[in-house]
Amino acid sequence: MRPFDKSFLTPTCPAQREVGNILKVTQLSKSFTGLSVFKNLNLEVPNGVFCALIGPSGCGKSTFFDVLMGVLPMDSGEISWGGRSVNDLKHIAAYMQQKDLLLPWFSLEENALLPAKILKGQKKDGRKAVRDLFARFGLSGFENYLPHQVSGGMRQRAALVRTLTFDRELVLLDEPLSALDALTRSILQEELLNLQLEFGKTVLMITHDVEEALLLADDVVILSSSPMRLLERIHITSAKPRRPSDPEIGRYKEIVLSELKRELTVAQ
Ligand SMILES: Nc1ncnc2c1ncn2[C@@H]1O[C@H](COP(=O)(O)OP(=O)(O)OP(=O)(O)O)[C@@H](O)[C@H]1O
Ligand SMILES: [Mg+2]
């Protein structure tokens, strides 16, 4: 395997991006019945940055998001948003969990409207926003279907609409496009990118798809096997929108894949 060419990398988080609300995770630890999932994890994501997290299956990515969102309690550590320490990001971030978690007795549209209903004072007209996103995500005509009446990929898209309907600056997405066919996936990648570029949201996205990470993210964070550590953070300088055929994307892909392969070899 070729050595990892770090000279290709540029420093992460240049000073000019350090404005607005920064997400800061400091010394975060979580274990299950004595087994450490991650220990003293640090991560900083500047305002408006799209950060992709890639790591081996079972390394602790979903647990990390669950701890950030307060779904699971942390053992120790600190989370801060905009310089203010918070217990978790429950009231700050929109979260799409790995399982779609749609309510089975509500239609897709009613499911997607839940954030607008729950969040009193949400400025935007929920139904219009949901209808717009349904159209953009290829779900028009399926508004009144129940979750069990549509495919897994359609449920995943409806869950993504529900997450994006939360009017929140920070968005956490756990493998949001994993159940989709290649073409739908590529269309939705563009939509995710548009939403980030249009609305300037800070996005943390877990994915197993290296190309997806490189097409969408400003920073790609590579994680180790359990207990999960940050192995590398790669700042992707290529202008957006990007194409898989861009030579630069190809070079980044080699770097990320070689780092992941190295980690899997070490872990075996
Ligand atoms: N509630 C729980 N109780 C005990 N162990 C758990 C619990 N949830 C997760 N784990 C363990 O924590 C580890 C990390 O799981 P997690 O789901 O965070 O991995 P992941 O990186 O998201 O994997 P994948 O890429 O397959 O989704 C695994 O070993 C898993 O078995
Ligand atoms: Mg997971």
Per-chain residues with Cβ under 5 A from ion ligand 2: 62, 98
Burial 237-268 (b: 16+ CB within 10 A, else e): ebeeebeeeeeebeebeebbeebbebbeeeee
pTM of the predicted structure, to 2 decimals = 0.90
Confidence of residue 128 (pLDDT cuts 50, 70, 90): confident
What H or E segment, with its residue span, contains residue 215? helix 210-216
What is the topology classification, in CATH, of domain 18-92+170-268? Answer: Rossmann fold (3.40.50)
Q: What is the pLDDT of residue 19?
A: 57
Of 29, 32, 173, 205, the residue with max ligand 1 atoms within 8 A of its CB, to mutate for a pocket test, comes to 32
* Average pLDDT, integer, range 188-215: 90
Q: What is the pLDDT of residue 50?
A: 95
Q: Do 76 and 66 meet the contact criterion of CB atoms below 8 Å apart?
A: no
Confidence of residue 3 (pLDDT cuts 50, 70, 90): very low
The ligand with the least distance to the CA atom of 54 is 1
Q: What is the pLDDT of residue 1?
A: 32
Confidence of residue 146 (pLDDT cuts 50, 70, 90): very high
Tens-place pLDDT, residues 60-89: 999 999 999 999 999 999 999 999 999 999
Q: What is the pLDDT of residue 53?
A: 98
Q: What is the pLDDT of residue 129?
A: 82
* Average pLDDT, integer, range 109-128: 76
Q: What is the pLDDT of residue 265?
A: 79
The ligand with the least distance to the CA atom of 64 is 1
Tens-place pLDDT, residues 12-48: 333 334 457 899 999 999 999 989 999 999 999 999 9
Domain residue ranges of the chain, discontinuous segments joined by +: 18-92+170-268, 103-168
The atom number, within ligand 1, closest to the CA of 208 reads 25
Tokens standing for residue 166: 């939360």
Closest CA to 53 of 213, 259, 191: 213
Q: How far is the CA of 61 from the centre of ligand 1 (A)?
A: 8
* Average pLDDT, integer, range 161-173: 89
Other CB atoms within 10 A of residue 158 CB = 27
Q: What is the pLDDT of residue 21?
A: 87
